Amino acid sequence: MNAIPQAIEAAPLLRVDGLTKWYGHVAGCRDVSFELRRGEVLGVVGESGSGKTTLLNCISGRLPPSSGTVEFDTSRFGLTDIYGLNEPDRRRMQREEWGFVHQNPRDGLRMRVSGGANVAEPLMNLGNRHYGKMRSATVEWLQRVELDTRRIDDKPRNFSGGMQQRIQVARNLIHGPRLVFMDEPTGGLDVSVQARLLDLLRELVRDLGLAVIIVTHDMAVARLMADRLIVMKDGFVVETGLTDQVLDDPQHAYSQLLVSSVLQI
Amino acid sequence: MNARPNEPERYYNYAYLDEQTKRMIRRSILKALAIPGYQVPFGSREMPVPYGWGTGGIQLTAAIIGPDDVYKCIDQGADDTTNAVSIRRFFAQVADVAVTEDTGEATIIQTRHRIPEQPLKAGQVLVFQVPQPEPLRGLEARETETRAMHAYEEYGLQYVSLYESVATYGRIASTVGYPTMVDERYLMSPSPIPKFDNPKMGDNEAILLFGAGREKRIYAVPPHTTVRSLDFEDYPFETQTWDENCALCGAQDSYLDEVVLDDTGARMFVCSDSHFCADRRAAGHVGPMADHQLAALETEPT
């Protein structure tokens, strides 16, 4: 990290400015602006229907916003508005530099091909044509996400929900992305599996120095994973700040409600 | 050819399809030839056979055939199978063309499943009947997405199927419809021909036309175009091989069909290309079971 000059370090990886998405006359998200730097984990929290997923879809290039810009520091064009790129370039950037972990692994995996092929697919998309090398990379990544490597050729449907989610994580990290989007990555899992997956994610993110935008309605996930938080309500960002700051000393009435609503045992 | 008294009527709606339809198909063929491997949509018509029996190939043939053509039709390499015989009769009737079983003599060869063993030459057209023109369909169900993949040359996904095959069988085990790159640009499914025939498509002197009636797509490989079968660096493309030679003609380098002879396990291997096999036998080549009754069946009286 010392080798990186301060100026580059300070340059944002992702800059979102005045992002608004209307569904007809209903607002998905309104006037959202923030910056994300390398290695930073940003949590987006809020209740159902507050615009978290709309925001994530807009900034991950999957849903063009009604107004506002999303700029990403691409390796080929520098800091560029992603919706200003032409479609092949945008798709290539999404393929090469991003990952997207869906809430439901079925949305993020190809259910008809084996877990190993799912993990290796990003490598093939990047032009890797050597089976042996891809195979060993896949085995290595299955180990990293703590899956039994003997099950490499099993179909995703034969894995449990938590294992499918691990496959999805491996698939989204194997090609060395710089930014990973996660939409409720632990949403459908039971609590003990959630905890293990979170632990694993936290470790991987730290080791790889990834920038992550993680959408969640679970305060515990936010507390564990995120460096910074964005609290959303009715499409607006109502509060931002360091995770501990927001969760320990919420300023906005809604954030206070959110934090106080967490069940204690 | 002697002019007949009904000459003008004979050319009105010649070869089953009406003139406007043939014009539309010809335009699609020209576009397909201009962009090798690109799937050109066309307005596929109802044909007098069900989808899957060669409606795409029949429409292509109907659009390009003329009274001076010599027509050959094969199914699984053989001239004497039901489907091939009826399609051949169909064109003999509606297009009034000469038909043949001789690969060298034919100007239009309609085929499913095989490319004839005898090398094709300039001036010949090979028409394929294609069930599923989209090689990526098995992995990606969305047409919008596969179109984008073709447009932006994103073909990594096709390798997933090869990866699956190597992971499961230890080699690239798919034997038919083996995906190919045409002119290093478009990924193409070579209809359900065995991968044994894939190398014959590259740098071929004849025109290769592919028609999918149900899926409403036409694509083409013009003469002398590179066609590369996909593979991995450490698992190169290979064609099928057999330990046996053809039991009737003794050919060592042709595509062989296994024929079960009885219920005690006796079997023989014979050339799938019936004309190729018959030609060799006529030239005096003899296989180990040359006097088998199948040999008599294959020389159909004309």
The answer to whether A70 and A14 are in contact (CB under 8 A) is yes
Mutate to test the interface with B, among A87, A113, A118, A130 (most CBs of B within 10 A): A113
B250 Cβ contact partners less than 8 Å away, ≥ 6 residues apart: B280, B285, B286, B287, B288, B290
User: Rounded CA gap, A5 and B156, in Å?
Assistant: 36
Does the residue A80 lie in any domain?
A: yes
Is B167–A116 a contact, with Cβ atoms under 8 angstroms apart? yes
Note the pLDDT of residue B299.
52
Per the residue annotation, which of B56, B211, B277, B287 is the catalytic one?
B277
Is B156–A125 a contact, with Cβ atoms under 8 angstroms apart? yes
Is A131–B148 a contact, with Cβ atoms under 8 angstroms apart? no
> How many domains, chain A?
1
What is the chain A residue with the closest CA to B167?
A153
Q: Checking phi first, is residue B159 left (phi over 0); if not, alpha (psi -120 to 50) or beta?
A: alpha
User: Rounded CA gap, B101 and B61, in Å?
Assistant: 16
Q: Which two tokens stand for residue A14?
A: 């992702």
Is A110–B160 a contact, with Cβ atoms under 8 angstroms apart? yes
Q: Where are the alpha helices (DSSP H) in chain B?
A: 7-11, 19-34, 55-64, 82-94, 143-151, 156-169, 198-201, 274-282, 293-298
Does the pLDDT at position B51 exceed 70? Answer: yes
Cβ of B159 under 8 Å from any chain A Cβ?
yes
What CATH number is given for B7-136+173-229 in this structure? Answer: 3.40.50.11310
- Give phi and psi for A173, each to the nearest 5: -115, -15
Q: Which two tokens stand for residue B106?
A: 């034919």
User: Average model confidence (pLDDT) for chain A?
Assistant: 90
Nearest chain A Cα distance for residue B163, angstroms:
6
User: Rounded CA gap, A245 and A228, in Å?
Assistant: 9
- Lowest-confidence region among B67-81, B192-206, B281-295: B281-295
Note the pLDDT of residue A186.
86
Per the residue annotation, which of B37, B56, B57, B211 is the catalytic one?
B37
Does the pLDDT at position B21 exceed 60? Answer: yes
Domain that holds residue A255: 29-110+178-260
User: Rounded CA gap, B222 and B209, in Å?
Assistant: 8
Note the pLDDT of residue B302.
44
Per the residue annotation, which of B202, B249, B250, B287 is the catalytic one?
B249
Task: Convert the pLDDT of each residue in B165-222 to its tens digit.
Answer: 999 999 998 888 899 999 999 999 998 899 999 999 999 999 999 999 999 999 999 9
Give B160's contacts in chain A (Cβ within 8 Å). 110, 113, 117, 120-121, 124
User: Rounded CA gap, A71 and B56, in Å?
Assistant: 48
Which whole number is the average pLDDT over B246-275?
A: 91
Which residues in chain A land under pLDDT 50?
1-5, 7
Nearest chain B Cα distance for residue A113, angstroms:
7
Mutate to test the interface with B, among A131, A134, A149, A153 (most CBs of B within 10 A): A131
Is A88–B163 a contact, with Cβ atoms under 8 angstroms apart? no
Cβ of B169 under 8 Å from any chain A Cβ?
no
Task: Convert the pLDDT of each residue in B113-144 to its tens digit.
Answer: 999 999 999 999 999 999 999 999 989 999 99
Per the residue annotation, which of B246, B250, B284, B287 is the catalytic one?
B246
Does the residue A187 lie in any domain?
A: yes
Cβ of B168 under 8 Å from any chain A Cβ?
yes
Q: Which two tokens stand for residue B167?
A: 């992971």
Nearest chain A Cα distance for residue B40, angstroms:
21
Q: Which two tokens stand for residue A163?
A: 């294992």
What is the torsion angle, in degrees rounded to the nearest 10, for the CA atoms of residue B235, residue B236, residue B237 and residue B242? Answer: -80
The greatest distance separating any two alpha carbons of chain A, rounded to the nearest whole angstrom, comes to: 56
Task: Convert the pLDDT of each residue in A90-147 to its tens digit.
Answer: 999 999 999 999 999 999 999 989 999 999 999 999 999 999 999 999 999 999 888 9
Higher-scoring residue by pLDDT: B299, B158: B158
Is A120–B163 a contact, with Cβ atoms under 8 angstroms apart? yes
Q: How many residues would you count in chain A?
A: 265
Q: Which two tokens stand for residue A61?
A: 């290039």
Give B157's contacts in chain A (Cβ within 8 Å). 121, 124-125
Note the pLDDT of residue B10.
61
Note the pLDDT of residue B9.
62
Q: Checking phi first, is residue B113 left (phi over 0); if not, alpha (psi -120 to 50) or beta?
A: left
Give B163's contacts in chain A (Cβ within 8 Å). 116-117, 120, 124, 131, 134
Give A126's contacts in chain B (Cβ within 8 Å). 156
User: Rounded CA gap, B64 and B21, in Å?
Assistant: 12
Cβ of B167 under 8 Å from any chain A Cβ?
yes
User: Rounded CA gap, B188 and A69, in Å?
Assistant: 38
Q: Give the C-alpha distances (Å, rounded to integers) separating A182 from A54, A157, B248.
A: 13, 21, 64
Nearest chain A Cα distance for residue B258, angstroms:
31
Note the pLDDT of residue B3.
60
Give A91's contacts in chain B (Cβ within 8 Å). 148, 152, 154
Does the residue A125 lie in any domain?
A: no
Mutate to test the interface with B, among A62, A96, A129 (most CBs of B within 10 A): A129
Q: Which two tokens stand for residue B242?
A: 């057999």
Q: Tally C-beta pairs within 8 A across A and B.
A: 60
Does the residue A79 lie in any domain?
A: yes
Cβ of B161 under 8 Å from any chain A Cβ?
yes
Nearest chain B Cα distance for residue A124, angstroms:
5
Note the pLDDT of residue A2.
47
Going by C-alpha positions, the residue among B31, B30, B33, B75 that lies closest to residue B52 is B75
Which whole number is the average pLDDT over B231-245?
A: 93
Q: Give the C-alpha distances (Å, rounded to integers) separating B250 from A253, B102, B104, B255.
A: 89, 20, 21, 12
Does the residue A9 lie in any domain?
A: no
The answer to whether A235 and A215 are in contact (CB under 8 A) is no
Active site residue B123: no
Does the pLDDT at position B12 exceed 90? Answer: no
Q: Which two tokens stand for residue B278?
A: 């018959």
Edge-to-edge strands of the sheet including A228-233? A98-101, A179-183, A211-216, A41-46, A228-233, A236-242
Does the residue A67 lie in any domain?
A: yes
Note the pLDDT of residue A197.
87
Q: What is the CATH number of the domain that holds A193?
A: 3.40.50.300
Does the residue A61 lie in any domain?
A: yes
Active site residue B246: yes
Going by C-alpha positions, the residue among B12, B59, B79 that lies closest to residue B214 is B59
Domain residue spans of chain B: 7-136+173-229, 241-302
Cβ of B235 under 8 Å from any chain A Cβ?
yes
The answer to whether B192 and B176 are in contact (CB under 8 A) is yes
- Give phi and psi for B82, each to the nearest 5: -55, -50
How far does chain B reach from its first CA to its final CA, in angstroms? 22
Percentage, residues of chain B above pLDDT 90 = 75
Active site residue B73: no
Give A96's contacts in chain B (Cβ within 8 Å). none
Is B164–A129 a contact, with Cβ atoms under 8 angstroms apart? no
B144 Cβ contact partners less than 8 Å away, ≥ 6 residues apart: none
Mutate to test the interface with A, among B140, B150, B155, B163 (most CBs of A within 10 A): B163
Is A91–B148 a contact, with Cβ atoms under 8 angstroms apart? yes
